Amino acid sequence: MSFFKKLKESISGKTESVTKSFRDGLEKTRKGFVEKVSDLIIRRKKIDEEFYEELEEILIGADVGVNTVMTLVEELRGEVKQKRIEDASELQPILSRKLMELLRGDDDNSLKENPDGITVILFVGVNGVGKTTTIGKLAHRYKQEGKKVLLAAGDTFRAGAIEQLEVWGQRAGVDVIKQQAGSDPAAVMFDAVQAAKQRNVDVLICDTAGRLQNKTNLMEELNKIFRVIQREIPSAPHEVLMVLDATTGQNALSQAKLFGEKSGVTGLVLTKLDGTAKGGIVVAIRQEMNLPVKLVGLGEKMEDLQTFDSSQFVHALFAGMISEEAAEAGEEQE
C-alpha cells in the first residue's frame, strides 16, 4: 500500500487505535511545531522574505535539520512563484504535502525474522537513551504474540546494566542470560545462543555496551559478539537496532552518523518521542540517513513501543490540518 493510501486510511479512521498512540505521543511536537506554523500563516497574510525566515526558524526549531529546511523552503519559493500564490493560507496544504513527501520511505518497517529458527536482535546505543527499556518493551510485545523470548545481558561494563535488564525481564516475564559484571560480553552471547537453542526460543534479544562511538575497544567487542553469534547461527543477527533519544534532537542524528553504519546497524529506534517538541528529528533522520526508523517510543507503558509508520506519524502530527483531499492530491502525484 502506498504512503498516501495509508494516510487516507488513517484519516478515515480504519486504524484508529494506532493513530491515537501516535496522536497522544506527538502532542508536544504538534503544539511546538504545527501550531506555530498555523499561527504564522494566520498572522502573516503576505508571503514575503520575513515570512520565509520565520518559517525556517520554526522548522529548524523542530529539528527538521538545516539542510532539509533550506531545500524545503527553496521548493516552496518555487511553487509559490510558479502558481502565483500571494495569500499565506494557500501555502498550508502545500507545506503539509511537502513534509509528507520528505517522510515517505520504505513502507515496510517491520522487524526481520528468521524463518528457519531463532531470530537474533542486537541492540546498540549510548548510555541513557532508553536501550534497556526498549528491550523490555520489545520482549513484552513478542511475548504477547505468543513467542518464546530470551534476553542476553551483554552490557557487562556499565554498573547496574545487568540488574536493570533483569528487572525488565521480570516485568515482561522472560528469562535473562547473564554473567558477572566485567565479564566478556562475547562469552555471555555464546551462553545465550546455546540456551536459546536448548530452550527452543523464538527470539533472542541481546543488550550490548553503550559507549561504542568513542571507544575503539568497545567497537572491537561488538565485532567479536557478531562473530560468536554468526558462528552458531550463520544468518544472525537478523536486526541490529540502534536506540536514539529523540529529546536530544540533532545530537541523536550525530550519534547515528558517527557509528551507525560502521556497526552494521539495520534500523533505528527513537525513544521518548512523546517527551519532545522536536519530533521533526524523524524527518531529518529520514533525509540524512540510509537507515529506516523501525520503532518509536511514545510513552511509559509497555504498549507504547510502536512500529514506526510514516502515514500515522504525519496524520498524528497534522491532525485537523490534513484533509482526505490533500492525501488524494499527494496520491495522484505518486
Q: Which residues are annotated as a binding site?
A: 125-132, 207-211, 271-274
At 225, list the grid cell: 559478539
Residue 175 CB partners (closer than 8 Å, separation 6+): 150, 151, 169, 195
Whose grid coordinates read 510485545?
141
Residue 321 buriedness (CB in 10 A; 0-12 / 13-18 / 19+): middle
Q: Do residues 11 and 327 lie in contact, with contact meaning Cβ atoms separated by under 8 Å? A: yes
Q: C-alpha angle 34/329/73, rounded to 5°?
A: 45
Q: Do residues 238 and 120 lie in contact, with contact meaning Cβ atoms separated by under 8 Å? A: yes
Cα distance between residue 114 and residue 202, in whole Å: 9
Cα distance between residue 4 and residue 328, in whole Å: 7
Q: Which residues make up each annotated binding site for GTP? A: 125-132, 207-211, 271-274
Cα distance between residue 138 and residue 136, in whole Å: 6
Dihedral of the alpha carbons of 288, 293, 297, 302, in degrees to the nearest 10:
-170
Residue 102 CB partners (closer than 8 Å, separation 6+): 68, 72, 283, 286, 287
197 vs 137, 204, 208, 237, 333, CA distance in Å?
23, 10, 20, 15, 50
